[in-house]
Amino acid sequence: MHTKTMEGLIGARTNMNLVNTPMRVYKEARRKGDLGAMERAMGYASDFAGKAEEYKAEADEGMKKEAEEAKEKKKLELEEELEQRREERKEEKEKLEQTDTVELSEEGNVLLKENADLDGTEPSAVDSNAGKEMVFYTSTGTVSPAQQGANISVSV
């Protein structure tokens, strides 16, 4: 809460509570018929009420400033969020633009040429494996022969 708002609310409440005392004196003086005491009591009551109004205005001003600050803070947060999203999009775009390349060894080029169709189309993945013994590569990079009838599941 803004300082002006707190000060205004406390001051207004205190002065409104202070109005009760002169009003009680005014009522007592009215019962007695003492016009001088009534006038003095009303003077004090109006002073306290006036001060309460001043504090109320101060509280209103503090609340306006507080609202403006909250609005500016919200605006800054939105700008930061937009900038972060722009950077994320930029990074994603850069990742998409990066392409992986595959280089074929001499043996791979020879096999590709051997399996090519006569009409010049590239062989399919099934054709390139036809008639070849299946092998598996271990985590160390060595070749191990495939087991007959084994099913392999690969997740990427």
Q: Is the pLDDT of residue 9 over 80?
A: yes
pTM above 0.75, yes or no: no
Helix, strand, coil percentages (3-state) for the chain, rounded to 5, are 70, 5, 25
Question: For residue 62, what are the CA distances in angstroms to 6, 9, 18, 66?
Answer: 8, 10, 23, 6
Q: 129 pLDDT band (50/70/90 cuts)?
A: low
Q: 126 pLDDT band (50/70/90 cuts)?
A: very low
Q: How many residues does the chain have?
A: 156
Q: Torsion-angle region of residue 56: left (phi > 0), alpha (psi -120 to 50) or beta?
A: alpha
Model confidence pLDDT, tens digit, residues 106-118: 888 888 888 774 3
